[in-house]
Amino acid sequence: MKETREALPDLAAMAAYGARVAARLRAGDVVALSGGLGAGKTTLARAILASLGHAGEVPSPTFTIIETYDSPNLRLPVVHADFYRLDHPSELLEIGLDDYREGAALLAEWPDHAGGFAHEAGCLEITLQPAGESGEGGRIAIARGAADWVGRMP
Ligand SMILES: Nc1ncnc2c1ncn2[C@@H]1O[C@H](COP(=O)(O)OP(=O)(O)OP(=O)(O)O)[C@@H](O)[C@H]1O
Ligand SMILES: [Mg+2]
């Protein structure tokens, strides 16, 4: 498993990093976005979506759990999920996550609440940590790619 670290001192750096992930993203992939409350998971998901060609709003899926993006402007369809509110990974069956994921890339916040995705070959795990005492230095992104990400790490 390959690991990279990237300093993201501000929102511009976050946008550029999101663009690099987006450029490498394929249907079937999952970008598992970890980090505590306010770590920047939604911010990075928005940057990835914008770079894929999405022009409109990207509401946080905190309450809906799943938001789908499949306009023809997008380079590929995207499912944006926030699994924070899941009580158990088995709830994914009721939600029908696998059906949503067909032909799409998944951007998943709180992936551990969904049982994790690291066992999937297309999984790119990105953990966002605060840089500095309370994040005043921005964020650090630690990325770990599964087998399918060899040679295309952001
Ligand atoms: N690289 C960065 N440098 C400085 N501030 C950042 C950076 N990335 C994100 N932020 C800021 O951090 C705040 C929280 O971001 P965000 O909502 O994306 O977090 P989150 O991880 O999705 O939180 P939650 O766990 O509640 O879903 C926002 O105000 C955002 O502007
Ligand atoms: Mg969020």
The domain that holds 17 is classified in CATH as 3.40.50.300
Residue 99 Cα, ligand 1 centroid: separation in angstroms?
A: 29
61-100 pLDDT, tens per residue?
999 999 999 999 999 999 999 999 999 999 999 999 999 9
Does 77 fall in a domain?
A: yes
Distances in whole angstroms, Cα of residue 86 to Cα of each of 19, 82, 91, 93: 29, 9, 7, 12
Q: List residues near ligand 1 (CB under 6 A).
A: 8, 10-11, 13-14, 35, 37-43, 109, 138-139
Per DSSP, the three-state class of 36 is coil
104-150 pLDDT, tens per residue?
999 999 999 999 999 999 999 999 999 987 768 899 999 999 999 99
Domain count, the chain: 1
Does 152 fall in a domain?
A: no
* Whole-angstrom distance, CA of residue 115 vs CA of residue 80: 16
